[in-house]
Structures are given as structure tokens and as C-alpha cells.
Amino acid sequence: MDDGDPLASSLLDVKELEQFLFAFIGAVTARRPAPGDDVSRLVDELGLQPPAAWQGEAILWDGGEDDAGAASRQEQSLVLMRPGDPAALGFTVGCITVRGRRYCLECGWLYCRVVIRF
């Protein structure tokens, strides 16, 4: 794909976001932060590179609100899936907020997905 192609750029941005979210939220969930904790410091501690658009932004832990609560607020969602991720076994929901947007990682036995609520 051509570097100037908007579709190619968009797909690369989504790939960068998806890779960061799975690595970051998965590691942060294991540390069990309290809802509202600023987990930005863990980006460097975990040796991760956040998406360029998030450089210097606060990342707040939202915990793991169930989908029923989100559905009652009628939020739109963008879902990115990973088929058959073996790391999904026993994984629990984890959520962060960046710039007022909520990013939720939800894994199940058959698939993994990232949910971005607007």
C-alpha cells in the first residue's frame, strides 16, 4: 500500500491502537488498580509505546463495568476482535479512559475484543 493512502494510514493506526490496548490493559488488569487510578505511569514501566495521539495523555482505570450498564446509556461501540487468542482464558474485563473516551478490553474463551465507547 502507498504511504499516502488514507485507508492504509487508518488501518495502521487501528493496528497500533489494538496492539497497545491488548498489551497494556491486559497487564494493568493483573495489577488490580482501583477505579479512577491514573495508570499512565505503567506505560513506561511495562516498556510499551502508546499510540502517537495519546502521548502525554492521562490514562485512567475504569475497572470492569458490565455491558448491561453501558447498554443502558445507549453508547455506540467500535469492536476490534482477535480470533482465538490463547491469552484470553481466564481474562477479566478491563477498561481505561483517555481524553474522555472509554476503551474496554473484553476477552472470552473463543475470542478477544476491544470495545471503544463514544
pLDDT digits (tens, 9 = 90+) for 63-89: 655 544 555 555 666 667 776 666 655
Asked, for residue 79, whether it belongs to a domain, the answer is: yes
Select the more confidently predicted residue: 111 or 24.
Answer: 24
pLDDT band at 26 (very low <50, low <70, confident <90, very high): confident
Asked, for residue 14, whether it belongs to a domain, the answer is: yes
Three-state SS at 18:
helix
| φ, ψ at 31 (rounded to 5°) | -85, -10
Pair type for strands 101-107 and 94-98: antiparallel
Average pLDDT, the chain: 77
Asked, for residue 1, whether it belongs to a domain, the answer is: no
| φ, ψ at 80 (rounded to 5°) | -110, 130
Domain that holds residue 97: 6-117
Is the model's pLDDT at 115 over the cut of 90?
no
Asked, for residue 107, whether it belongs to a domain, the answer is: yes
| Spatial separation of the C-alpha atoms in residues 106 and 23, rounded to whole Å | 13
Domain count, the chain: 1
Asked, for residue 84, whether it belongs to a domain, the answer is: yes
Handedness of CA 13, 11, 19, 88 (dihedral sign): positive
- Give pLDDT, residue 86: 61
